[in-house]
């Protein structure tokens, strides 16, 4: 397949200036396609092949949540740049987004959708076409239909719906294909991917939670609410527990599945019921590792006064956030898209490449406490430095081996 990497330099310049945002919490189980323009539809969440962190690598100077900022002036593309990325030659640039969950979940899925929308608006592109709530069994049909709607770029939001991509890439070679593939997907010369290390991220989430629990001094248990004991959930849970108990070995975490197998992270009724049980049992914190059910659980946790956190979104500590988050657990697909585009500008990321985002090395992934004390921030910075230096590589490797073992 022959592509045109030069076309992406212009897109990348704009993508680095787009800020991801969060929205509502609509819960809809059926796949839906958003009309490209003029229609009322929901507003709209895991990281390429990376090098091992060198020993002694220091953490970023500050791992606090990012301050609210505006897109800098000059975010629009130069005149004529749109034509360079009009891959199908129809006179307009349009992104297609394939999301496994609700496009407006206010969490993992929405982050990528928001980034594409803002990029398009800032540069006069056509309204993106969003197909959300895609079930794994229907992915080939849903993404194939999206590819036939005149899109120039398709962004696949998660590896859970990526299985048909090799066939689709071969069938539609003129489209630029990108997957925010989380735990990873087999290499393909026509697919650009971003991934991350769920163990690294979840360790920082557990550690941050432990620090806040230690500060409050109320309760010793965390409720980890997820879907259905999938491999990447197991990895996240075990690493979260490891980080939590690094603060205090007496702290415990309980995993509660609330969705139907596979990939149902949107069952609000089951998730909120699980939270109520956790509250009744004296839980001090909740990690809603969810999609469409995430924000309803956070709202209920706020009402109960529990420590709570995001599951992907990097923007929840900002003043505009309506709900109260104590921690941002960042594996934000929108952030990854922007960073990947920056690497394309530098010629460091091309089709067929896989970039893995690393805690303590890349600024995008990892947990941050929204309002830390100086002592808490110092402790988090030290954990980031330890992860970057590979201090927990053996433990994280053992966790991954167990989490993704077959059978």
Domain 198-332+365-403 in the same topology as domain 6-196+333-357: yes
Write down the pLDDT at residue 17. 34
Regions in the chain scoring below 70 on pLDDT: 1-85, 341-347, 406-407
Collapsing DSSP states into helix, strand and coil, what is residue 128? Answer: coil
Through-space distance between the first and last CA atoms of the chain, rounded to whole angstroms: 37
Structural contact between residues 359 and 392, judged by C-beta atoms closer than 8 angstroms:
no
Task: Give the model's pLDDT for residue 11.
Answer: 42
Report how far apart, in Å, the C-alpha atoms of 117 and of each of 27, 247, 324, 365, 379 are: 20, 40, 25, 22, 37
Alpha carbon distance 92, 60 (integer Å)? 39
Query: Per residue in 62-109, pLDDT tens?
Result: 444 333 334 422 233 334 445 556 777 788 889 999 998 888 877 778
- The pLDDT assigned to 63 comes to 40
Provide the CATH number for the domain formed by 198-332+365-403 in this structure: 3.40.50.2300
CATH entry, 6-196+333-357, from 3.40.50.1980, 3.40.50.150, 3.90.1150.10, 3.40.50.2300: 3.40.50.2300
Looking at residue 20, what is its pLDDT?
33
Half-sphere exposure (Cβ direction) of 12: Cα atoms closer than 13 Å: 18
- Give the H/E segment covering residue 330: strand 327-330
Tokens 């010793």 belong to which residue?
A: 220
DSSP letters spanning 367-407: EEESS--HHHHHHHHHHHHHHHTTTTHHHHHHHHHHHT---
- Bridge partners of 154? 96, 177
User: 126, 116, 174, 119: which is closest to 148 by C-alpha?
Assistant: 174
Q: What is the reported pLDDT for 347? A: 58
The domain locations on the chain are 6-196+333-357, 198-332+365-403
The whole-number pLDDT of residue 281 equals 94
Cis? peptide before 262, omega within 30° of 0: yes
Cα angle 229-53-288, degrees, rounded to a multiple of 5:
25
């Amino acid at each position: 397949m022959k592509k045109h990497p030069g076309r992406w330099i212009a897109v990348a310049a704009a993508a680095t200036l787009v800020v991801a945002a969060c929205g509502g919490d609509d819960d809809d189980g059926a796949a839906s396609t958003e009309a490209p323009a003029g229609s009322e539809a929901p507003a709209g969440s895991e990281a390429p092949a990376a090098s091992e962190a060198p020993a002694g690598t220091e953490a970023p100077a500050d791992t606090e949540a990012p301050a609210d900022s505006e897109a800098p002036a000059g975010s629009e593309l130069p005149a004529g740049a749109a034509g360079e990325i009009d891959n199908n030659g129809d006179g307009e640039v349009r992104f297609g987004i394939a999301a496994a969950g609700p496009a407006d979940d206010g969490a993992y899925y929405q982050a990528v959708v928001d980034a594409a929308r803002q990029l398009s608006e800032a540069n006069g592109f056509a309204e993106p076409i969003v197909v959300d709530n895609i079930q794994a069994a229907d992915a080939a049909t849903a993404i194939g239909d999206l590819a036939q709607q005149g899109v120039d770029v398709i962004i696949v939001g998660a590896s859970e719906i990526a299985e048909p991509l090799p066939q689709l890439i071969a069938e539609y070679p003129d489209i630029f294909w990108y997957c925010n593939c989380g735990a990873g997907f087999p290499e393909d010369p026509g697919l650009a991917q971003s991934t991350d290390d769920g163990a690294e991220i979840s360790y920082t989430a557990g550690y941050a939670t432990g620090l806040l629990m230690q500060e409050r001094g109320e309760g010793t248990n965390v409720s980890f609410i997820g879907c259905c004991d999938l491999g990447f959930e197991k990895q996240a849970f075990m690493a979260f527990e490891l980080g939590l108990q690094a603060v205090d070995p007496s702290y415990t975490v309980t995993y509660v599945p609330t969705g139907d197998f596979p990939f149902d992270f949107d069952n609000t009724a089951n998730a909120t019921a699980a939270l109520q049980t956790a509250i009744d049992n004296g839980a001090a914190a909740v990690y809603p590792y969810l999609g469409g059910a995430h924000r309803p659980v956070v709202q209920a946790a706020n009402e109960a006064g529990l420590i709570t956190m995001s599951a992907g979104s990097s923007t929840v500590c900002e003043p505009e956030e309506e709900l109260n988050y104590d921690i941002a657990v960042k594996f934000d697909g929108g952030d990854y898209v922007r960073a990947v585009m920056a690497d394309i500008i530098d010629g460091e990321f091309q089709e067929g490449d896989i970039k893995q985002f690393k805690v303590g090395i890349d600024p995008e992934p990892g947990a941050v406490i929204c309002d830390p004390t100086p002592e808490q921030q110092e402790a988090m910075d030290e954990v980031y430095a330890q992860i970057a230096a590979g201090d927990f590589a053996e433990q994280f490797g053992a966790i991954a081996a167990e989490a993704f073992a077959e059978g």
